[in-house]
């Protein structure tokens, strides 16, 4: 599964969303600051096998799960193509950073059809 090139995404945004551009990525400093402010976990989650023993009484699958696995095994295997990308965009003429209309938004770009297939707001 290949990702689209940055230039290709930028041209799709310019063509289909005039007045917007691909948002610049946050720098490594912002990511480091966010890691410092992350809250510690209160408790640990038990491993999956322990949860299965507790809630499924030793049975690793429910009847519905077994039926789904049988149907899945009987169905022909079709390769899954997941080539859509979520891209952050921002207005090119942002006047006030606190204004809601000038904040970044997300769009979904289809790698197959090379067009925008979904957008936020």
Percentage of the residues of the chain whose pLDDT score is greater than 70: 62
**Residue 2 or residue 112, greater confidence:** 112
Side-chain half-sphere exposure of 35, counting CA atoms within 13 A: 5
**Residue 106 or residue 27, greater confidence:** 106
Cα(94)–Cα(88) distance, integer angstroms: 15
- Check: pTM over 0.95? Answer yes or no: no
At 108 the pLDDT is: 92
At 48 the pLDDT is: 85
Cα(19)–Cα(41) distance, integer angstroms: 42
Quick check: 102 pLDDT over 60?
A: yes
The helix/strand/coil state of 16 is: helix
Percentage of the residues of the chain whose pLDDT score is greater than 90: 13
Query: Cα-atom radius of gyration of the chain, to the nearest Å?
Result: 22
């Amino acid at each position: 599964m290949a990702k689209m090139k940055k230039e290709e995404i930028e041209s799709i945004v310019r063509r289909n969303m005039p007045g917007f551009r691909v948002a610049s990525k946050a720098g490594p400093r912002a990511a480091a600051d966010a890691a410092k402010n992350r809250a510690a976990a209160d408790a640990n989650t038990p491993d999956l096998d322990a949860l299965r023993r507790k809630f499924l009484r030793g049975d690793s699958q429910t009847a519905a799960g077994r039926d789904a696995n049988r149907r899945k095994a009987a169905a022909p295997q079709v390769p899954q193509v997941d080539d859509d990308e979520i891209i952050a965009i921002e207005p090119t003429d942002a006047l006030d950073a606190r204004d809601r209309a000038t904040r970044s938004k997300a769009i979904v770009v289809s790698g197959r059809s090379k067009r925008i297939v979904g957008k936020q707001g």
